[in-house]
Amino acid sequence: MGSEKACMDQSERGEHDRNKLRGAIAEVALRVTDLSAKDGTESVARRVGLLETSWQALMPLIQLEPEPTRRECPHCRCRMRQVATRCVYCLGKSVPPDSGTAGAA
């Protein structure tokens, strides 16, 4: 019973976060549209400032992770993730380097 409540709370928190993200995306979309408006009611500098503010509010909600480290595929020489065991381009198998270095940046 307690786990159901925890799941519901977690789900509700997730929905709240998604709604915040949707709102921030809508705000950025509105500012982009406003930026290209030709009605002359606001200066371009003000429109750009509003867009930058909206963008800064959106970025923390996206929670981008750092780009994964990559290495060269020993078969086709394409770039693949450091920890990958199979290349997405040629499907060649390879052994990832030591796990101690794979987690770096």
Return the HEC string of 53-94.
HHHHHHHHHHCCCCCCCEEECCCCCCEEECCCCECCCCCCEC
| pLDDT for residue 45 | 81
Q: Of 25, 18, 15, whose CA–CA distance to 57 is shortest? A: 25
Domain segments of the chain: what residues?
Answer: 2-62, 65-105
| pLDDT for residue 13 | 53
Dihedral (CA of 51, 52, 56, 57) sign: negative
| pLDDT for residue 39 | 65
| pLDDT for residue 6 | 40
Tell me the whole-structure pTM to 2 decimals: 0.42
Q: Of 88, 83, 86, 81, whose CA–CA distance to 67 is shortest? A: 81
What is the pLDDT tens value at each position of the chain, 105 positions in all? 444 444 434 445 567 778 888 888 888 888 888 777 666 667 878 888 888 888 888 888 887 778 889 999 999 999 999 999 999 999 999 999 875 444 444
| pLDDT for residue 40 | 65
